A and B are shown apart, each in its own frame.
Chain A
Amino acid sequence: MSLRYIIFRNLRKNLKSYYLYVFALIFSVALYFSFVTLQYDPSMDEVAASTKGAAAIGTSSVLLIAIVGIFLLYANTIFIKRRSKEIGLFQLVGLTKGRIFGILSAENCILYFGSMAVGVLIGFLGSKLVLMILFKILGVDAMTKLYFSPMALVQTLIVFAVLYLLIMLMNYAFIKAQSILSLFRVTAKAEQQVQKMSIAQIIIGILGIVLIVFGYVLSARMFSGEALDMQQLMYMMMLILFSVILGTYLFYKGSVSFLFNLIRKSKNGYLTIHEVLSLSSIMFRMKSNALLLTIITTVSALAIGMLSLSYISYYSAEAQAKESLPEDFSFAQASVKNRFVAELEEKQIPYEEKHRQPIYIELDAREVMDDSLTEELLFSSVVSDNMVDDIDLEPGEVVFMGYGSAIKQMISIQEKGPIVLHGSKQTIDQQLIGTTKQGVLPVYYTKGMPVAVVDETVYQQLQKDLDPELQEGEPTDYYGVHIVDGKQAEEAYGVFKEQQLTAPSFSQIEFRNNQRTNMGLIMFIVGFLGLTFLITSGCILYFKQMNESEEEKPSYTILRKLGFTQGNLLHGIQLKQVFNFGIPLVVGLSHSYFAVKSGWFFFGTELVTPTVIVMILYTLLYSIFGLLSVWYYRRVIKEAL
């Protein structure tokens, strides 16, 4: 039996049991390669020019290496441990450690570079798909071609060769430390794990839950509640992060076993097979995996959170454009507007014009606001009801327009109540009679604050008593152009673009597109990284389960001898996997939910739909690994008797 024979035999056997490792390897290479190909793709130039796309992709490819690298190294530690027995055996029959290292390296080399070749091929074919997805998200109408980049190939080869060397280094260190005795150590290890619940553990368990809840409560209060300056906000965020992450760690370390122990205690020793396989096993296992699970949970929470936020932003681009720019086109200068309108007439695009002349005052709205805001007087723009359609006010009445979702979270204003308008000399008492989401002036004029709409007479009165300091540097005219037929808006935007009008001129479509491009690219990258992370962490959990199933195989033998059927056991295992994959998933989802909820209004107008879509998608992808592991368990149980 030559060494080569051993290598090939091992390889054949390993391929069968490590198919997921090979898959993960192929997948990471494919992802990385297609990602780097994007960076060098000439058709990306268009995207890159507008959004610094190349830089963003470059940075994230480094992150991608980090994720993939950590994953491969971690997976390797799992697999090399599984083979310690084999290594011991080789030593027993007289192979030197050098020879064993040689065998392992050769074997890994074939496995690794074989999958790499496949991965590059898939990545090459997939890069077009990836690019198509990106262009679809960004709304770019460019043709995508299959593009092979030698640079990308070289970069991929270098990165993965370095990773290979690292893995070999790790294997070398492992073999070096391995003695023949470790042949027998495997079984002895399992028995130490089980001990009784101590008081310290109960405290840890409770503390974990308390910390998480504390973090959640803080996050919910971060942007409502008292106003905070930047520094306080920073401290607050750090406190939240710290408490939630530590809480998560303690949760895995203690809370899970604590809760499960409570359930178990209530059963008073009489456990069903499902409880035997799920509760009692998880109680002890989760503790030892606490760190790993914390990392997985935190990063998935981060990924889901970022993905949700960018999707919220992307999703609400249109609504946000309408909120920030009341009309299709906005101009601050009459001359610019006239040039644009003239062209519209020539093109025979029917339009409506709006002209508003905002004035700037300070107002006292303490009566209608929560006492959260400390400043006494608010800077506000004012327009007359004559300038706004559909609104006719009596003297003394005020409506706040443009009170959108973002500002709503910062300042809460009641629907009705007394407010006081301040001129430079006199003050006017008014009654607030309502707020609307719909805006009348672009953010450029309002600074994001709601616009006070007053009766024409009050407007005149205020205009005579203006504080010149407040008017300084502020635009005095607003010209809005509304395209009557929505279908012609794009055509009008063509005109707008062609004329290259001087600022300040705004277009709703442009605003929306910019938002989509920026957020789309971020979403794409976050999605890409998130997907990689999801798959790698799913694989790691799966590998862990693979080990666990083999460690627990003797238990299955006992249970089957006692008369439990394979079906009984499998049901129990399914429950166990629901917990094993479900707990990290639910904790991750809940973290990201609270993270998103605390600040989503800065990103868009719609919370539920985008977040739920992202979460469902994540859950579905995640469950695949749970199913795979159940499948593996089925095999182990079958072989157990």
Chain B
Amino acid sequence: MWILEAKKISKVYGNKLNKQEVLKGIDLGVGKGEFVGIMGPSGSGKTTLLNVLSSIDRVSQGSIEIEGKEFTGMKEKQLAEFRKHHLGFIFQEYNLLDTLTVKENVLLPLSITSVPKQEAHRKFEQIARELGIYELKDKYPSEISGGQKQRTSAARAFVHDPSIIFADEPTGALDSKSASDLLGKLSEMNIKHQATIVMVTHDPVAASYCSRVIFIRDGQIYTQLNKGDESRQSFFNDIIKTQGVLGGVQQ
């Protein structure tokens, strides 16, 4: 049972004369509770894929279902409605509103869906404690470190129990300590709450936290690696190997 299922999606930029096919018919399924990594060299289309899967960008062809709901044909307003209930986001640049405190930032997705206040505060406390940002709740983003910002961003993604969470290079702007902290927390949430996460990254270490890694090249799925019962270290070695084969330039 897939929670996200993409069939033959393709994305073309430009006009008739100057066409650029970024995604060339990708089939993809993500099961409930999976932590999927998407890797690939620059320009391979990973971010486009993520944008398309997360309804921020539209596909040129193909269909995408999340929890059985087809959304490629939806209107802008329906899409927004869809995102607010089903999706959570973590971005490389944190994307926190710098005029809001940590708590206010985290509670944003709940205020859209008008969850009762009591419930919202309870939810915040639980998530914030798990991610270790509860003590920072009244601080502004400019007063906390990058790692703390990213954990705030993660808390915001988890707070409304979305069906699936999309993370775009979440460790891209972090130092290695904060990065491993964050990834540890993410996989903890993944295991504990059965949260489904799709993460784009170019960092093999980050990818090694996933349960499955999909490699993309030139807009097509190149191969997949399953972690299975492997240790993180050996999974990491596999990833490095695959990445070496994949390369950046056509040989």
Interface residues of A, Cβ cutoff 8 Å to B: 190-196, 268-273, 276, 280-281, 283-284, 554-555, 557-568, 641
Contacts and interface: CB of A to CB of B under 8 A. Distances in A.
Of residues B91, B120, B140, which shows the largest number of chain A Cβ atoms within 10 Å of its Cβ?
B140
Interface in B98-132: 98-101, 103-104, 106-112, 117, 120-121, 124
29 contacts: A190-B98, A192-B142, A193-B98, A193-B142, A194-B140, A194-B142, A195-B143, A268-B121, A269-B101, A269-B124, A269-B137, A270-B104, A270-B107, A272-B111, A273-B111, A276-B104, A276-B111, A280-B104, A284-B99, A558-B95, A559-B108, A561-B83, A562-B89, A562-B112, A562-B156, A563-B85, A564-B112, A568-B80, A568-B112
Q: Which 4 A-B pairs have the closest CB atoms?
A: A563-B84, A269-B103, A563-B83, A280-B99
A270 B99 contact: no
How many B residues are at the interface, by size bracket?
A: 35 or more
B98 A566 contact: no
A270 B98 contact: no
A561 B104 CA distance: 17
B70 interface: no
A270 B125 CA distance: 13
A280 B97 CA distance: 10
Interface of B: 54, 56, 76-77, 80-85, 87, 89, 91, 95-101, 103-104, 106-112, 117, 120-121, 124, 137-143, 156
B167 to A, nearest CB: 13
Contacts of B121: 268-270
A566 B98 CA distance: 20
A191 B99 contact: no
A271 B121 CA distance: 12
Contacts of A566: 76
- The B interface is mostly helix, strand or loop, or mixed, namely helix
A194 B140 CA distance: 7
Given A192-B142, A565-B80, A567-B77, A270 B112 contact: no
Given A268-B121, A271-B108, A564 B77 contact: no
B98 A564 contact: no
Nearest to A190: B98
B110 A195 contact: no
Contacts of A559: 97, 108
Given A563-B84, A565-B80, A196 B107 contact: no
A474 B23 CA distance: 103
B20 to A, nearest CB: 21
B111 A270 contact: yes
A16 to B, nearest CB: 23
Given A194-B98, A284-B99, A558-B96, 16 more contacts: A190-B98, A191-B142, A193-B142, A194-B142, A195-B140, A270-B121, A276-B104, A558-B91, A561-B83, A562-B156, A563-B80, A563-B82, A563-B85, A565-B77, A565-B80, A641-B56
A192 B140 CA distance: 11
Contact of A271 (B56, B81, B100): B100
Contacts of B107: 269-271
Contacts of B84: 562-564
Contacts of B104: 269-271, 276, 280
Contacts of A280: 97, 99-100, 104
Nearest to B85: A563
Contact of B81 (A191, A196, A270, A563): A563
A553 to B, nearest CB: 12
B109 A562 contact: yes
Contact of B100 (A276, A554, A641): A276
Given A270-B111, A271-B107, A280-B97, A562 B140 contact: no
Nearest to B81: A563
A268 B110 CA distance: 13
A184 to B, nearest CB: 15
A142 to B, nearest CB: 59
A554 B95 CA distance: 8
Contacts of B137: 269
B109 A195 contact: no
A190 B142 CA distance: 10
A281 B99 CA distance: 6
Contacts of B120: 270
B113 to A, nearest CB: 8
A272 to B, nearest CB: 5
Nearest to A560: B80
B33 to A, nearest CB: 23
Nearest to A281: B99
B174 to A, nearest CB: 17
Nearest to A555: B97
